[in-house]
Amino acid sequence: MVYTVGVAGAGTMGAGIAQVCAQQGLRTLLYDVNTGLAHQALANIRKTWETLEAKGKLTSEQVARAVDNLQVVSQIQQLKSDLLVEAIVERPDIKQELYRAWEEANSEEALLVSNTSSLSIDVLAATLRHPQRFAGLHFFNPAPLMKLVEIVVGRKTPGEVVATLKNFCERIGKVAVVVKDSPGFIVNRVARPFYTEAFDMLDRGVVLPAALDAALRNAGFKMGPCELTDLIGQDINYAVTGGLYESFDRAERFTPSEAQGRLVREGKLGKKSGEGFYAYAK
């Protein structure tokens, strides 16, 4: 059973995951290498809870309990938890370094999961002292709103760990689906042509971002590809496409887009940086 959750990374995903866990009654510890960022995330989450209370979606008691459940820690050694959800930068070496430090501070029974969108769970597990405690737990953005979580099963992930993770997902109100470790898991692989086809049209100068988004939104999609990747983070989305492209022997259908690559190089990462395909007020 999971009673205490550690969340590493207080960016877009980590902050959302921590909000969900604390709101659903779990003791939650939030850690970021940049402690200031973690405190900023905590302040934003509290503001969100106040808004939800003002709208009548949470009671004052629920908000008080959630606030009580969520705490920032400044050292990895303080991240003592039954489950660590890692949601840090998409770099295998940095993730593995964090796992090493976390394993030293936690018992063999504690579970460790990565929220990675594009890295192989088996590759990430390779340097672990206890790889049988590891799996992928892929939340979607925005984590408080998106119901789906993909449980990504590595070669060494046993059935009991999958069962505990299913139970955890249910406990925090998510719908879990199980998939074996494979490039893009389910959604990122199936949805990839949505992005690559759309951005190929931008690369060819056939259409502009606003027209592309308006067309797809008015055809029934919740968001167009440009506004959606601005929300996801252009760097994250571009890395997923690149990962799939390499994993599938540079299959044409996964070709990364020039327009998106340019945005990433210019630091126009979307909402989080203030500009992507569109400009955002800070």
Judged by beta carbon, residue 11 or residue 131, the one nearer ligand NAD is 11
Least Å distance between CB 192 and ligand NAD?
14
Which chain residues interact with ligand NAD by CB under 6 A? 8-14, 32-34, 37, 87-90, 94, 98, 115-118, 139-141, 232-233, 236, 272
- Which residue has its beta carbon closest to ligand NAD? 11
**CA dist., res. 133 & res. 112, Å (int):** 6
CB of 233 to ligand NAD, least distance (A): 5
Q: Tell me 207's DSSP state.
A: S
- Provide the minimum distance between the beta carbon of 64 and ligand NAD in the complex, in angstroms, as a whole number: 27
Which residues are catalytic, by number?
117, 138, 150, 188
Identify whether the C-beta of residue 29 lies closer than 8 Å to the C-beta of residue 4: yes
- If the CB atoms of residues 26 and 149 are measured against ligand NAD, the closer one turns out to be 149
Q: Which long-range contacts (CB under 8 A, 24 or more apart) does 136-141 make?
A: 136/181, 136/185, 137/85, 137/113, 137/165, 137/169, 138/185, 139/13, 139/16, 139/17, 139/87, 139/115, 139/174, 140/187, 141/12, 141/13, 141/16, 141/231, 141/232
Report how far apart the first and last C-alpha atoms of the chain are (Å, whole number). Answer: 40
Pick the closer one to ligand NAD by CB: 60 or 74.
Answer: 74
Residue 41 Cβ vs ligand NAD, minimum distance, rounded to whole Å: 8
CB of 58 or CB of 233, closer to ligand NAD = 233
